[in-house]
Structure 1
Amino acid sequence: MDYSLTTRLAAEFIGTALLVMLGNGAVANVDLKGTKGHGSDWMLIAVGYGVGVMLPAMMFGAISGNHINPAFTLGLAMNGLFPWAEVLPYIGAQLLGAFIGQLIVVITYKPYFDQTTNPRHILGTFSTIDNTDSKLFGFINEFVGSFILFLGALGITKAPFFQDNLGTAHLALGFLVWTLVASFGGPTGPGLNPARDFAPRVLHAILPLKHKGSSNWDYAWVPVVAPIAASILGIFIYKSLFM
């Protein structure tokens, strides 16, 4: 079935909002004081992001392709696998979805944001931070994680093994992200997605939250540029070798 651009944009908007709500919601549950999940381990966050990708993939994979990530949209377009005319509308829907998704997280967790005095924990529920404050190592981490993500995502959805059951392929995407957060999430968060980092960072800068501190804009280019570069390369390699 062919879906209109408007329908596909709605899917991208809702899918990206769900990703941010479930992923950053898990971070908020772990890092904000007073929640029942406060102090839980990293696997809770990994599950949040894994299912945050899996659920939209199962819902919208057959409608919009479930990009929910500007880096994926750009990587596909750069490699001739997605029309350039739809790139900006897709990215706009993704950024807006991430913004609204983060706003819902803030509204839901507002009393716990007020109790939290560590500004890094507050920013970490919005956007990524390299734990050593290194742009170089932050870039390396984001690039490696994103490369695996996009190479894996294209491989899973285009592999002959899954062509008779794309639903299973989209289910597998959630496990891919879950594993990436568990394996490579420690240093930066991770981002792996410019919309998931940039739009919430804008909201962090706007909102008058107590103890929020800096939005760390000098680092903000890292989780935008690294995933885009990794996406272009990862999709190029898969397309060149296997398509």
Structure 2
Amino acid sequence: MEETIGLWTVFGSEVLGTGILLLLGVGVVANVVLPKTNGNGSGWIVIIFGWGLAVFAGVFDAGRSGAHINPAVTVGLWVSGADEYAPGVDVTIGSTLVYFAGQLVGAFLGAVVAYFAYYGHYNDPEAAGTQLGTFATGPAIGTVKDNVVTEVVGTFVLVYIILRFGDTPTEIGPLAVALLVVGIGASLGGPTGYAINPARDLGPRIAHAILPIRGKTDSNWGYAWVPIVGPIIGAVLAGLLSHVSI
């Protein structure tokens, strides 16, 4: 008999898993972007592999809740017609909101811890104006329609593959999800920085807005809806198409 878990366990699992994801994800970007770090200037390939390994760790840590660690995965499962998010966790509005809350809280906390890990570098005068890019995504070319499409496509690939081959990240396997995220970053990450996860962008963006970072710019709230709406649309499409036989 499979172990069943309660919603408090779901919440805690998603907080911890998403927190680890964002601690390592924000951390790798900080290492590459912020001045005077040992990894400064090491480039996009380091960032995408760092994010992939962050996903690997987050999925392992949040295994009890199915390791969604991404509202888009939760939405994709809901739309696909799944009965449960995890053993004993029925798909309801209440349980969905618990997943969303855990993911957002975890993303915020992970970003805050990453900030303190790089405190001196974030507050170095030479870092002024670069800090937001370590927390949140932004477009290389700011064309809203194109940016939304990029996020829709990247998230569709992520959620569709997870649903087709495993239903949840834990069932497809941490390594498989990690490599999938690396692949999406290498192929589709250039235009927007590939949020493909609303909590991954929103939680750290809130952290950036709140934290007393020396020399920071604004948090670019005018763009913030794109890495929320795009991934949700991609997740809905993936959920709808996940059971289509080809």
TM-score, normalised by the number of residues in structure 1: 0.90
Specify the alignment match of 1:110 in structure 2.
119
Superposed displacement of residue 129, structure 1: 0.5
Structure 2 Cα separation of the partners of residues 104 and 158 of structure 1:
31
Superposed displacement of residue 200, structure 1: 0.9
Superposed displacement of residue 169, structure 1: 2.9
Structure 2 Cα separation of the partners of residues 15 and 59 of structure 1:
5
Superposed displacement of residue 168, structure 1: 6.4
Write out aligned runs for 1:48-63 (5 A).
Answer: 48-61=50-63, 63=64
SS of the aligned residue for 1:13 comes to: helix
Residue deviations 1:132-177 (CA, integer Å, cap 9, x gap): 1222221121111111111111123149xxxxxx666332011101
Structure 1 Cα separation of the partners of residues 115 and 58 of structure 2:
21
SS of the aligned residue for 1:241 comes to: coil
Superposed displacement of residue 56, structure 1: 2.3
1:171 to 167, 172, 175: 175
Question: Structure 2 counterpart of 1:78, which letter?
Answer: V
Query: CA, structure 1 residues 168+130, in 2 after alignment: closer, same or farther (shift >3 Å)?
Result: closer
Gap runs ≥5 in structure 2: 86-90
Question: Structure 2 counterpart of 1:208, which letter?
Answer: P
Specify the alignment match of 1:72 in structure 2.
73
Specify the alignment match of 2:88 in structure 1.
none
Q: Please, which moves more after superposition, 197-206 or 69-78? A: 69-78
Gap runs ≥5 in structure 1: 160-165
Superposed displacement of residue 41, structure 1: 1.7
2:22 to 20, 23, 39: 20
1:190 aligns with 2:199: no
Specify the alignment match of 1:200 in structure 2.
204
Residue deviations 1:64-107 (CA, integer Å, cap 9, x gap): 11110112212222332241220111100110000000000111
Structure 1 Cα separation of the partners of residues 174 and 43 of structure 2:
26
Question: Structure 2 counterpart of 1:229, which letter?
Answer: I
Specify the alignment match of 1:156 in structure 2.
165
Write out aligned runs for 1:216-231 (5 A).
Answer: 216-231=220-235
- Number of aligned residue pairs: give it: 234
1:138 aligns with 2:147: yes
Specify the alignment match of 2:36 in structure 1.
34
Structure 2 Cα separation of the partners of residues 28 and 135 of structure 1:
26
The answer to whether the Cα contact below 8 Å between 1:147 and 1:233 also exists between their aligned partners in 2 is: yes
Question: Structure 1 counterpart of 2:57, which letter?
Answer: L
The answer to whether the Cα contact below 8 Å between 1:149 and 1:177 also exists between their aligned partners in 2 is: yes
1:233 to 226, 237, 240: 237
Structure 2 Cα separation of the partners of residues 21 and 15 of structure 1:
10
TM-score, normalised by the number of residues in structure 2: 0.89
Specify the alignment match of 1:213 in structure 2.
217
Specify the alignment match of 1:163 in structure 2.
none
Structure 2 Cα separation of the partners of residues 60 and 66 of structure 1:
4
Normalized per residue, which structure has more helix?
A: 1
Question: Structure 1 counterpart of 2:153, which letter?
Answer: V
SS of the aligned residue for 1:239 comes to: coil
Question: Structure 1 counterpart of 2:145, which letter?
Answer: L
